[in-house]
Structure 1
Amino acid sequence: MSDETAAALARDRVIDITTTGRRTGEPRRIEIWFHRYDGRYYITGSPGRPRDWYANLVANPRFTFHLKESATADLPATARPITDRAEREKVFAGVLAPLGDFTSRPGNEPEVWVAGSPLVEVTFA
């Protein structure tokens, strides 16, 4: 990994991901935030309705992680869905902490995220 890519992973937040459609097999690209916690990378979505990107990653965990803010790079990656409640609690505590008072607003409490948000750990090839 280049120094530029490593620096972008350390400071950027907004990326695109390209997943493989679970029904169509076609590439699907969306914009999303990623989070860093405890030396690892995660992608999540706000609590609520099911997300196609998550269903696609469950069906086919290989995807492309596209850096696009301070650097441009297409990184092959693999997603690991996090379903264990204790691990989810730990990860959400870490990724939500930098968002400050965001989690004190109704519907944004950490327990709501743990119960109803998609969450994957990202590993790069």
Structure 2
Amino acid sequence: MDPEVRAAIEITPAAGTRERTIDITTTGRRTGRTRRIEIFFYRVDGRTYLCSGTSGRPTSWYANLLAHPDFTFHLKHGIRAELPARALPVTDREERRRVLTEIVADLNQPHNPGTIAQPTHLRNWLDSRLARVTFP
């Protein structure tokens, strides 16, 4: 992987909202058509994750990735790149708690990288959609 691309993916807690914002293109679970949305990504223990929502409501992006785990990860701030990627839902209770604890701590920083109401609490994130991203 290109070093600049790797650096853009390997964000640290110091990263702001802009550096965390990407687009993903998924394949529709019913239609088979591509769908592109904007989403945040996170880094925990050297791994990349997609996570959204504290409402527990279904999301199309997550349902699409469950049906078709291969997608495109679009870097769009600073460096532009379209990366083939694969999503793996994080369903193990212990792993979810560990990863979500780190995401919540990251979002509760004073510079508020997620532009969410602070403080946010782990209990509100336990039912969120969470997927680990790998780059072939």
Quote the residue 2:23 is aligned against.
16
Quote the residue 1:31 is aligned against.
38
- Contact 1:15/1:67, CA 8 A, preserved across alignment: yes
**Unaligned residue ranges in structure 1 (runs of 5+):** none
Letter in 2 for 1:47: T
- Please tell me whether residue 46 in structure 1 is matched to residue 46 in structure 2: no
What is the CA–CA distance in structure 1 between the aligned matches of 2:97 and 2:33, rounded to whole Å? 33
Quote the residue 1:109 is aligned against.
121
Alpha-carbon RMSD? 1.5
Letter in 1 for 2:78: S
Q: TM-score, normalised by structure 2?
A: 0.84
- Contact 1:79/1:120, CA 8 A, preserved across alignment: yes
Letter in 1 for 2:8: A
What is the CA–CA distance in structure 2 between the aligned matches of 1:69 and 1:19, rounded to whole Å? 20
Q: Alignment partner of 1:23: what SS?
A: coil
Quote the residue 1:57 is aligned against.
65
- Please tell me whether residue 74 in structure 1 is matched to residue 85 in structure 2: no
What is the CA–CA distance in structure 2 between the aligned matches of 1:89 and 1:104, rounded to whole Å? 19
- Contact 2:10/2:46, CA 8 A, preserved across alignment: no
Correspondent of 2:106 among 82, 92, 98: 98
What is the CA–CA distance in structure 1 between the aligned matches of 2:72 and 2:45, rounded to whole Å? 22
* Structure 1 residue 46, shift from structure 2 partner: 1.4
Q: Which has the higher helix share?
A: 1
What is the CA–CA distance in structure 1 between the aligned matches of 2:29 and 2:58, rounded to whole Å? 14
Correspondent of 2:92 among 67, 71, 84: 84
What is the CA–CA distance in structure 1 between the aligned matches of 2:10 and 2:95, rounded to whole Å? 22
Aligned length, in residue pairs? 122
What is the CA–CA distance in structure 2 between the aligned matches of 1:100 and 1:109, rounded to whole Å? 9
Q: Alignment partner of 1:24: what SS?
A: coil
